[in-house]
Structure 1
């Protein structure tokens, strides 16, 4: 089986409501869908959702990298030769993990369809039967966030991830209001998305968080401030998760060496796809660190890819891949059993793409062959 043609679709996924985090407000999610055709008629799908604040890639730049740099290099290659494919991509361009993730995911989808097995079977087999979904609360007014949390409890959600990272005093009020509304037994995770900037600001906030029963605190300092994470970790018993500060193997090695976090958030868009994400999970396991698989708010395609990684690894103990639930229209059919996700045993990613919706949401496209 060889790669015969690659079709690229630049789309915008419509959100039910704006998604607000510390550094940006999203009214929709720009995404690139990659359709890989093989000489045997097998179609593999991949996806790239770029975030310029995390990897330095944009929607437009990622499309150009895929169209002109990566896709032409891979025509004629075997999707099963994933180590070679990553080497070719790495030689073609430095970094650009989101663009590479789209290729990687499409290769795994094609591999799974070729052998008629779900992707998790290619990664060591299924370990988890299900994961509990966590509802993500965008940054709004404290009472509004508390109201949303209460309504989500009624819909079946049993845990929350709160986006904060603006003004510390307001952030503390947001967390306090949600905690009071949902009660003390409901898990709450707090994601600062680098918004508190440095360890001094974070330590100031932690004086108030200690009493609010927080599951963990995620990325409270700037991404490259690994030493800031070390300082915070030494001064609190609230578990720390690193997200934007972990992209690839070099970051993971430094995090492990400095014991800079208790947990790591692995995202396929940061690491370059399924293959390198699994490597990060193995490194974390050797260091005794739990992992989460998160997302950049992706469609059914990349969300399913993340789930296949998570379901195959014991060290991955939580997931945050709820993009399809947030969209008013999606190109795929990944199924959620709220408040759980349970993967099917369908071949490849297990996602059927609606070509009519894909064309409807496409703003521009290209063919490489």
Structure 2
């Protein structure tokens, strides 16, 4: 199974409601899709979202990295030389983690097809079903409470609340949500690097003292501030999840060694795909640090790959893979089934992706 072509396209999928965080606000998913074609007629699918505010990867950068570097490095290689192909992707260009992830995902898809086995079984096969939270965007307290009630009515029992835009409002936001949904619903919060360390401790402890019952806080401080992250971890009543601080296996190991966070969030677009994500998982197993499997604002192909990993490994205990259910439509044929909070991985070979609905992709 030799690689003959790397084809790129763009998809645009509108969201149900605008997605707002401390870093950005968007109305639709605008992703680059990768198709890797082979001499056997098999096609592997990958995908990358432009998240310049987080990864630095814009649409143009993703396309350029794949066309000018990655594709040229792997065309003509045999998928069965899997380790060599994956390493080529990682080494042929520095940074560009989202572009690498998209190609990496497509290669895992092909490798599973080659040996007629689902990717999640290739990596461990721990389970077939997972349950995700759903994100509540930053808004005024009343709007966030209404959005939370809507999520509960749709069957969700774990909410990820975006905070951090206005720290003075954050406790009011969480109080409104907690009052609206009651005490039995899990609430985790994501500050997206918005706070200073002492400010984070004050806010988080204030939330707990008010009985808001926060399960965890995601990335309360700046990505580079590992000492600040450690300070919050040691002084907060709320467990801390490292997210933007984790861009590589090396980052994850450093955080685990420093005990700078209680948990680590794995995102394929930040670490460069499944190849490096598995390294983070291995480190987490060694250090005994539970992981969340998260996603950017992505459509189904790349989130499908994250589902495969989440279903493969038991050290991944938290799931934040709500990208497809935030979309108003799903143009991807096949793959995992997203039934609101319940996600069931496909038992088809590879990722189980069959294609994209006609007219929904613009090839480059």
Fold shared, TM-score > 0.5 on shorter chain: yes
- For 1:192 and 1:18, locate their aligned partners in 2 and report how far apart those are by CA, in whole Å: 18
Mapped partners of 2:264, 2:155: distance in 1 = 26
Q: Secondary structure at the match of 1:215?
A: strand
**Are the aligned partners of 2:3 and 2:39 in contact in 1 as well (CA < 8 Å)?**
yes
Q: Is the 8 A contact 2:48 2:269 kept in 1?
A: yes
Unaligned runs of 5+ in 1: none
- Deviation by residue 1:169-209 (Cα, 9 ceiling, x = unmatched): 2111111110111111210000001112x202212212312
The equivalent residue for 2:4 is: 4
* Residues 242-296 of structure 1, C-alpha deviations (whole Å, 9 max, x = no match): 1010010221121012101111110010111111111101101111110111001
Q: Secondary structure at the match of 2:37?
A: strand
1:231 alignment partner in structure 2: 231
Counterpart residue number, 2:186: 187
Residue 146 of structure 2 aligns with which residue? 147
Contact kept? 2:149, 2:180, Cα under 8 Å: yes
Distance 1:108 1:80 in 2: 11
Question: What does residue 356 of structure 1 align with?
Answer: 358
- The equivalent of 1:41 in structure 2 is 41
SS in 2 for 1:247: coil
Match of 2:198 among 200, 206, 209: 200
Could you tell me whether the CA contact under 8 Å between 2:70 and 2:89 is conserved in 1? yes
Displacement, 1:358? 3.1
| Counterpart residue number, 2:340 | 338
Q: Distance in 2 between matches of 1:108 and 1:326?
A: 25
Greater alpha carbon shift after TM alignment, 255-264 vs 83-92: 83-92
Deviations 1:297-322 (A, max 9, x none): 21111111000001000100121111
Q: Contact 1:164–1:171 at 8 Å: present in 2 too? A: yes
Asked whether the 8 Å contact 1:2–1:39 carries over to 2, the reply is yes
Count, aligned residues: 360
Where does 1:1-369 land on structure 2 (aligned, <5 Å)? 1-124=1-124, 126-196=125-195, 198-210=196-208, 211-333=211-333, 334-359=336-361, 362=362, 365-366=363-364
| 2:3–2:74 CA contact under 8 A, matched in 1 | yes
Could you list the per-position Cα deviations for residues 230-250 of structure 1 after superposition, in whole angstroms to 9, with x for gaps in the alignment?
Answer: 111111231100101001022
After TM superposition, give the deviation of residue 355 of structure 1 in Å.
4.1
The two structures have a TM-score, normalised by structure 1, of 0.94
Task: Please tell me the root mean square deviation across aligned C-alpha atoms, in Å.
Answer: 1.4
Separation in 2, partners of 1:221, 1:262? 14
Alpha-carbon separation, structure 1, partners of 2:80 and 2:322: 29
Paired with 1:80 and 1:357, the residues of 2 have a C-alpha distance of 33
Aligned residue for 1:212, secondary structure, equals coil
Displacement of 1:87: 2.6
The 3-state SS of whatever aligns with 1:188 is strand
Partners of 1:139 and 1:330 lie apart in 2 by: 24
Instruction: Identify which range, 249-258 or 9-18, moves more after superposition.
Output: 9-18
DSSP-derived class of the 1:250 partner? helix
* CA distance in 1: counterparts of 2:93 and 2:175, whole angstroms: 46
Rounded to whole Å, the distance in 2 between the matches of 1:90 and 1:275 is 9
**8 A contact 2:325–2:340 mirrored in 1:** no
Looking at structure 2, the residues matched to 339 and 222 of structure 1 have their Cα atoms a distance apart, in angstroms, of 30
TM-superposed deviation, 1:99: 0.5
User: How far, CA to CA, are the matches of 1:147 and 1:129 in structure 2?
Assistant: 32
Contact 2:89/2:103, CA 8 A, preserved across alignment: no
> Does 326-335 or 67-76 show the bigger shift?
326-335
What 5-or-longer segments of structure 2 have no aligned partner?
none
CA distance in 1, matches of 2:213, 2:81: 47
CA contact (8 A) 1:263 1:290 kept: yes
Instruction: Return the TM-score normalized by structure 2.
Output: 0.95
Please say if residues 163 and 170 of structure 2, whose CA atoms lie closer than 8 Å, have aligned partners that are also in contact. yes
How far residue 344 of structure 1 moved from its aligned partner, in angstroms, is 2.5
